[in-house]
Amino acid sequence: MDRRAPCLGQCQQLFYILREFSMKMPYLILVVISCLSACGSLSTQTEKRVQGELPENWGTETESAMVEPSWWLSFDDPRLTILINEALLENPKLRQADAVAQQALAQAKIAGADRLPQLSAALNSSRQQQSLATVPGANVDSGANSIISEAHGAALNISWEIDLWGRLSSLSAAARADFLASEQNFRAVQQSIAAQTAKAYFAVIEAGQQVALSTRTVTIFTETARQVTNRADAGVVAPTDKLLAITNLETARAGLEQRRDALQRFTRQLETLLGDYPDCSIDTPQQLPPIPALLTTGVPASLLTRRPDLLSAELGLHAAGFREAASRSALLPSISLTGSVGLQSNEFSDLLKGNFSVWSIAGQLVQPIFQGGRLRANVDLAQAQQRAAVEAYADAALNSFAEVESSLASEVFLVGQEAALLRASDASTEAERIASNRYEQGVILFLTVLESQQRALDTRSAYIAARLARLNNRIDLHLALGGGFESNP
């Protein structure tokens, strides 16, 4: 025989009672609504979006392929792909964002649980001694001064707040929107980590190229200083030429040390993004990759459904609206049901018998009357938070449009800058060669040689920096367009 049968029967009895009670609830609800009809109609949750006229196209026309989820593949650099994948697995900030999303998921589950009946089981046992002098009618002449009594019980308790006005469902929906927003924030952190890793990677390569350029320059200036020193010591050229050559050499050496310092800083930054100890041991290529073709950006309106930060701001707006609705619902009556069914006996062994059953059921209707203005203040607070969410969304949208427009415009300017610096670099290199030859022939002053050498160094360095700027701007464009890590439906 199943000893659980009496307990199961008691549970069924409780649910039958609750069902009978709940069948009468619609009449009670109608009475409550009729009493509140003079107070005005109930507010409903309305979806608010930022309205505005958006252009059909961006200010700069684009062509080629659409933005890809894994945009870093467009650089055709296997080493970059490996490092970004490593950063997406090991970066502490990304793990932190994932933990925050898990917290939001737990909060959403907690908020959703309030809408369901709460069920708990209880088992209690007590033993007490009581003086007979305090018991009415007790015979104290029998020789016993006290009695010992025991009480044992087992109960199944249920409580349920009926979500009559949608307060609990609004709070649950708000928590769900917060969770979805945290997922979008996680996507935003993913994109940011990928972009930071790519930028740091290219910065390391560019810094290495600058170090290589400075090293070659120091080698050239060392030879120039040696030749000029020999000629000055022989009295062929003025002593000032020797001093100027030494000055130029030492300045180049100082520039080399500065570029070496930049290289180690960028290298440690990249290693930190990868979650590795920053000991400058990472290997990178010696040349920057070619610039990929410019991508198609789509229409400006598509940005609102693609960028994770905008989606997060929109979800925050929805969450604020749900909380505003919940705050209004808190002004209305709340209805709750409680029930308990179980067994109670003076002997623990009797709990398994069905003739010791007990049960109770109760309903409660509570209408807030005076709480010092707290509930009204909660409504004002929720409305202010909703207005702040609207403005936050509008601000995020405007900034996102500005980022795309700026990156597209910068692409045009940077292309022209890189082309001009390439021509300048070629011209300055040729000018340096001609100046050195003419100085050896005694046609021009040494100052012209020094100026041509410095111009050649500066233009070559600026050209390398311009290529890095174009790569960084392309990364910014991918980031501004919301490319990478598409949202799950």
Domains of the chain by residue range = 1-36+334-366, 57-93+191-332+376-480
The answer to pTM > 0.85 is no
Q: Residue 154 and residue 352: Cα distance in Å, rounded?
A: 10
pLDDT at position 225: 92
DSSP 296: B
Which phi-psi region, left, alpha or beta, contains residue 137 (left: φ > 0; alpha: ψ -120 to 50)?
left
> Higher confidence at residue 404 or residue 53?
404
Interior angle at CA 289, CA 288 and CA 295, nearest 5: 130
What's the chain's average pLDDT? 81
The 3-state DSSP composition of the chain as helix, strand, coil percent (nearest 5) reads 65, 10, 25
Mean pLDDT, residues 344-350 taken together: 69
**Structure token pair of residue 460:** 């070559």
In this predicted structure, the answer to whether residue 200 has a pLDDT above a threshold of 80 is: yes
> Higher confidence at residue 23 or residue 323?
323
Do residues 10 and 361 touch, judged by C-beta distance below 8 A? no
**Structure token pair of residue 331:** 């002004």
pLDDT in tens, 416-433: 999 999 999 999 999 999
Least confident of 222-231, 251-260, 351-360: 351-360
Instruction: Tell whether the torsion through CA atoms of 85, 91, 95 and 101 is positive or negative.
Output: negative
In this predicted structure, the answer to whether residue 223 has a pLDDT above a threshold of 50 is: yes
User: Residue 355: CB partners within 8 Å, gap ≥ 6?
Assistant: none
pLDDT in tens, 359-378: 788 888 888 888 888 889 98
pLDDT in tens, 248-259: 999 999 999 999
In this predicted structure, the answer to whether residue 441 has a pLDDT above a threshold of 70 is: yes
In this predicted structure, the answer to whether residue 15 has a pLDDT above a threshold of 70 is: no
pLDDT in tens, 27-43: 333 333 333 333 333 23
- Which residues, in sequence order, are bridge partners of residue 362? 338
**Structure token pair of residue 207:** 């810094």
pLDDT at position 229: 92
In this predicted structure, the answer to whether residue 303 has a pLDDT above a threshold of 90 is: no
> Higher confidence at residue 6 or residue 458?
458
pLDDT at position 292: 85
pLDDT at position 377: 92
**pLDDT confidence tier of residue 186, bands split at 50, 70 and 90:** very high
Instruction: Just give the CATH number of 57-93+191-332+376-480.
Output: 1.20.1600.10
* Nearest in space to 84 (alpha carbons), one of 188, 209, 191: 191
pLDDT at position 486: 53
pLDDT at position 8: 41
Instruction: Count Cα atoms within 13 angstroms, Cβ side, for 481.
Output: 25
In this predicted structure, the answer to whether residue 125 has a pLDDT above a threshold of 90 is: no
In this predicted structure, the answer to whether residue 26 has a pLDDT above a threshold of 60 is: no
In this predicted structure, the answer to whether residue 152 has a pLDDT above a threshold of 70 is: yes
Do residues 367 and 188 touch, judged by C-beta distance below 8 A? no
Least confident of 43-57, 126-140, 262-276, 451-465: 43-57
pLDDT at position 268: 96
In the chain, what percentage of residues exceed pLDDT 70?
A: 79
